[in-house]
Amino acid sequence: MVNVWQVQVAAPSHAAALKLAQGAVEAKLAAGGQVAGPLTSVFWHQGEFGTGEEWQVILKTTASTYPELERFLVENHEWTNPEITALPFAAGLAPYLEWVERTTGK
């Protein structure tokens, strides 16, 4: 069974996204991450339809480290209800998956 997860979080700016990615990786809550964007988002917020520019942070972690990573993201995010999602990997290159587990291991 693969223990590695991909975690995504949206951020309002490149600087905010980079800060989240760097903080998570420096704290070894994620083995690595990418910042992508800008992306145009279409959404409902507080009963109103809207669009906006966002940046996506994509992090690699383990199932056991995810709760701590989620806590870090919530505590360090500008938004009170940030979009944070996580998906377990179904498969992957064994040396890569082992690197993620080693890097985030306590």
So what's the pLDDT on residue 30?
98
Amino acid 6: pLDDT: 98
Show the domain range for 65. 4-104
* Under 8 Å between Cβ of 1 and 62: no
Question: What are 14-64's pLDDT values in tens digits?
Answer: 999 999 999 999 999 999 999 999 999 999 989 999 999 999 999 999 999
Q: State how far the alpha carbon of 13 is from the alpha carbons of 9, 19, 31, 37, 44, in Å.
A: 12, 10, 22, 9, 19
| Total domains in the fold of the chain | 1
Strands 84-88 and 4-11: antiparallel
Alpha helix ranges (H) inside 4-93: 14-26, 66-76
CATH at residue 38: 3.30.70.120
Model pLDDT, residue 94: 94
Tell me the pLDDT tens digit for each residue of 62-97.
999 999 999 999 999 999 999 999 999 999 999 999
